[in-house]
Structure formats: structure tokens, C-alpha cells
Amino acid sequence: MSDWIDIPSDPAHIRRERERARDLKKSLWWQQQCLLGVCHYCHKKVTPDAVTMDHIVPVSRGGTSTKGNVVPCCKACNSKKAYLTSAEQILNTLEDENPGLFDSSEDETGASHHDALLSNRGLFIAHPHGFCSGVARAVNMAEAALQQNPEKDIIYCLNEIVHNQHVVFRLSSQGMIFVKRVEDVPEGSRLLFSAHGVSPDVRQQAEARHLQVIDATCPFVSKVHEEVRRFAATGIHIVCIGHRKHEEVIGVVGEAPDRVHVIENAEEVCHLDLPVDQPLAVVTQTTLGEAQVEAVMSALRARYTHLVCPPHADICYATRDRQHAVEDLAQRCECMIVLGSTNSSNSQRLVETAEAAGAHAKLISDISELSRYDWSAYSTLGITSGASTPEHFLDATIQWLVGQGFTCV
């Protein structure tokens, strides 16, 4: 292999390289995302199966930092150094290692090597994906409560612990009972609050029934509660950008019901009946899309002169990182599969992010739904899973797609 090249900085160059790769061999397109050559650090040979896609580091492209790029790294030394080879380098290397790979001769079945290569369909996995720290923490707390239960008491959970049917089903099968109201829990029982958090009113109800509370509220949600309490204590009104019916938002509003006003989109800003010349605080649901929040913020800025925002945005790191990974992958895949339940806010946002980036996107909540679609229409598929989707669902989906002729990259 000759010289390494860094990620091309000239957009026209990137476009030419991509067109060239597409023209030469369409199915080779996905191989362009893998290293072929020698690791910059350990000097070991790096082929696609010696590459890990686990690392996400900012990569400078055209002088602009593009956060959340999935960067292939050498597994041997974990160097976290990213280099993409050009389409031409890939082709040269493949030809060196596989003489005759690209000639048009046919094998005994009548199919050319070229056709065989074209039959490969690439399956890309977004990193990060799946359980975030808040969900993992809540599920661990639930499992620990079920296991450390010598008296075999029933453990209750208020609402779904996280918005995922597989997780809820699994905990149900271990004996957890999910309820909608605190009054449905017998006095003195153990009650788990979900990762989405609850309002102070619900906490008081639990106290009044002498319930033993296990609080699995995600710390990022607790942070928003804290912000609302702090803003409300100063006497100013607070706008909460989010979905009115989502449990997280209901809990946040409950911190100061007479002060917090929920808006779901930019159009609703003009319906706010609040003085435009007085301070107005803004908080957001943790699992929104960045573009969605920015659109609402622009409308708020245009109407209110004195907005007070928390020092750090409320969209949590897990939501942001997963959206960035999908945004990047969706630009390179014809279709993105998002694994998650239909009531999962962050999974829904991943679908929107993929569509905004130009890919088709399908939200799949169960393995049985995969057969509804004609995946053979796509040569490149991306796959991700929402922050509450267990890894075994991703594994099963990959296995199913590999059975349909996709190659996991």
C-alpha cells in the first residue's frame, strides 16, 4: 500500500471519490468506509475484520469539526486514528490481493466475480447505539430489587420503567408489576419510579401510602427538575419544550405547575400568553432532536428579548450522540433501521434524524416486523437502536438481515 491519505478536505474531491467508487463497483462503496492497509501506529495489516467501529471521535473534514463520526480503528492497538483510503487505493489493494477479482470472466455458475461482488449488500451499525447510562441504571436497579427480595414481595413500577416493550416484558416475566397510578400499589409495598422521573405530587402520594420507593429517575432528568425548581424560586415563568403527554414532561411540569408552560413546536410560541419584556426561562425534554429544539428557540428569541437558559442544554449526551451517529450514517446508507418502541421519544427522533439526512428510515419494534419490508431494494442499510432498546434485539436483527444476504461491516 502506498501513502496514507487523510480524509479529503475538498468537498469536490470527496464527491469525485464517491462517484468514482460508485461507478467502479457499487457494492464497493461500503468498503470505502473500512481501512485497508497498515495501521498507522502498530504497523499491523488492517483489513475490515481487524477494524473496530467502536470509537467516535471528532474528525476534521474540510476544516470543520464534524462531531459524532463513526471512525474505524485498528483493533490490535486501538489507536483511534482514522484514515480513509481513496476508492482507487481500495481497488488497487483488492486487485493485488485477489487477482482477477475485477475481470469480467465468468465462473462455472455463469456469474462473474463482479456480479458476485455486487451481490454483497452492506450493513452498517451506528455507534453508539442502544442502552444509555440512564436506562442501564434503571434496569439494573429493577433487576437488583427483584433479586434481592428474600420475602418474594411483589415489586411495583409506576409506568413503563423505560419505553421498550422487550424490557418491560422481561421484568414482568420476573415478577414486576407495572401500574399507572400510585393508588394501585398496596400500602407499604415497594415501588420503583421509572427513568422518566415523577412530579413532587407523586412522591407525596407514595409517602402517604408508606411505600418504599426505589427511585430510578435518570440523573439527566433530575437535572431538569432541579432547573425548574431554581427558576420557579426566582418567580419567573418557564417554557418547557417537549411533548405534553410524555411522562418526563409531566413530571417536570409538576415541579411548578403554575409557572411551567409546555410547547411542542415553533408554531406554539405565538400562543404563549406571557409578558415579552420580562425574563423567561427555557428548559427542554432530554430526548428531543437538536433541530427541533433549535427551531423552537429561534421562534422564542424572535418574540422574547430576555430568555434565560440553563448553562448546559437539557438534551442529554446519549440522545445527542445517537443522533449524530445516525446523521452521519444516514448520509451513507439508503435506508436506516431504527430499533425501538413506537412510544420511545428518542427512537422516534432517530427516525426523523435519518430522514432529515436523506435516507429512508423504518422504526422496528419487534423482530417479526422485519419481514414486512423488501430489504432487497437496498444495497446499503444502516442500523441503530434507541436508548432503551436491549442489545439482544439488535443482535437478532443483524442475524436476520445477514440471512437476507447482507454483510455486516
Q: Which residues would be at the binding site for ligand SF4 (CB under 6 A)?
A: 132-135, 195, 218, 220-221, 286-287, 316, 318-319, 346, 387
Range 170-174, long-range pairs (CB < 8 A, 24+ positions): 170/390, 171/139, 171/142, 171/143, 171/146, 174/143, 174/146
248 vs 264, which CB is nearer to ligand SF4? 248
17 vs 247, which CB is nearer to ligand SF4? 247
Amino acid present at 278: Q
Distance from C-alpha of 221 to C-alpha of 219, rounded to nearest angstrom: 5
Alpha-carbon separation of residue 105 from 44, 116, 151, 279 (angstroms): 33, 11, 72, 74
Q: What share of the chain is helix, strand, coil (3-state, %, to 5)?
A: 40, 20, 40
Distance from C-alpha of 267 to C-alpha of 91, rounded to nearest angstrom: 51
132 vs 359, which CB is nearer to ligand SF4? 132
Q: Of 160, 227, 247, 248, which is the active-site residue?
A: 248
353 vs 380, which CB is nearer to ligand SF4? 353
CB of 184 to ligand SF4, least distance (A): 24
Dihedral of alpha carbons 72, 78, 81, 86, sign? negative
CB of 331 to ligand SF4, least distance (A): 23
195 vs 239, which CB is nearer to ligand SF4? 195
Q: Please say whether the beta carbons of 146 and 192 come within 8 A.
A: no
138 vs 299, which CB is nearer to ligand SF4? 138
Dihedral of alpha carbons 271, 272, 278, 284, sign? negative
Q: Please say whether the beta carbons of 105 and 94 come within 8 A.
A: no
Note if 248 is an active site residue. Answer: yes
Closest to 346 measured CA to CA, from 324, 371, 368, 366: 324
CB-neighbour burial class of residue 86 (10 A; exposed 0-12, middle 13-18, buried 19+): middle
CB of 90 to ligand SF4, least distance (A): 37
Compute φ and ψ for 56, nearest 5 degrees: -125, 115
Distance from C-alpha of 59 to C-alpha of 56, rounded to nearest angstrom: 9
| Cβ neighbours, 10 Å, residue 233 | 10
195 vs 381, which CB is nearer to ligand SF4? 195
CB of 246 to ligand SF4, least distance (A): 11
* Cβ neighbours of residue 171 closer than 8 Å, sequence gap 6 or more: 139, 142, 143, 146, 157, 161
| Cβ neighbours, 10 Å, residue 21 | 21
CB of 230 to ligand SF4, least distance (A): 19
CB of 290 to ligand SF4, least distance (A): 14
CB of 220 to ligand SF4, least distance (A): 4
- With the CA atoms of 345, 351, 356 and 358 taken in that order, what torsion angle do they form, in degrees rounded to the nearest 10? 170
CB of 284 to ligand SF4, least distance (A): 11
195 vs 350, which CB is nearer to ligand SF4? 195
User: Which residues does the annotation mark as catalytic?
Assistant: 248
